[in-house]
Structure 1
Amino acid sequence: MKTEDLLREIESLPVEERARVADTVLKSLNPPESEVDKKWAEVAKRRLGEIKSGAVKPIPGEDVFSEVWKRFS
């Protein structure tokens, strides 16, 4: 099967199946590293706990990007 044929067939799939194909292809290009993933999961859980407990106040994304644009414009 030619690549163009394959792409046309993928485009004809329902969105959920296209997402599954895209996820599979991306994972094949950049396989997950279990140790790195575990460490990121630990950081994410810790940070979520800090937010839920009130120890850390989250900053809205709009504010963060606005500040970035100010600094680099």
Structure 2
Amino acid sequence: MTEIVEKLRLELSQLSMQERAELAYFLIHSLDRDVDDNAEFAWDVELTRRMKEIGSGTADGELSDKVFTELREKYS
């Protein structure tokens, strides 16, 4: 890791979770230079399907608190 990246990493670790999430979102989307219309359509179809499952009560899932706790434990 370059010195600049390490310095940024240390400074950015002091941000709130919300600020880090917003920055992560920005950075990830800055890598997407080309938009795949087929992929966008497929995601729209998948998200619509999942929303219908949630709305009808047929979706299998975990509470977000449990998922985030498990992720924090795994990656901390």
Question: What's the TM-score once normalised by structure 1's chain length?
Answer: 0.50
Q: Residues 47 and 10 of structure 1: is their aligned pair in 2 closer, same or farther, counting only changes over 3 Å?
A: closer
Among 38, 43, 47, the alignment partner of 1:40 is 43
What is the number of equivalent residue pairs in this alignment? 58
Q: 1:7 maps to what in 2?
A: 9
In structure 2, give the amino acid aligned to 1:11. Answer: S
**Largest Rg, 1 or 2:** 1
* Alignment-derived partner of residue 68 in structure 1: none
Percent identity reads 29
- 1:1-59 per-residue CA deviation (whole Å, 9 max, x = no partner) reads 8221111111111111111111111122234726222332134324544x3568xx54x
Question: What are structure 1's unaligned runs of at least 5 residues?
Answer: 63-73
CA distance in 1 between counterparts of 2:24 and 2:34 reads 15
4+ runs deviating over 3 angstroms? 46-49, 51-54
